[in-house]
Chain A
Amino acid sequence: MEGARRMPGEEGVWVFILLDMMTFSIFFLTFLYYRGQNVALFSESQSHLSQVLGAVNTLLMLSSSWFVATAVQAARRGLGKVTPICFLLAFLCGVGFGVVKFFEYGAKIRAGITPNTNDFYMYYYMFTGIHFMHVLIGMGVLAGLVQYSSTGGFDQKKMRNIESGATFWHVVDLLWIVLFALLYLVK
Chain B
Amino acid sequence: MNFAATLGFGLPLGIGLAAIGSGIGIGFMGKGAMEAMGRQPEILPKLQVAMIIGFGFAEALTIYAFVTMFFLQGRIG
- Note whether A and B form a binding pair: no
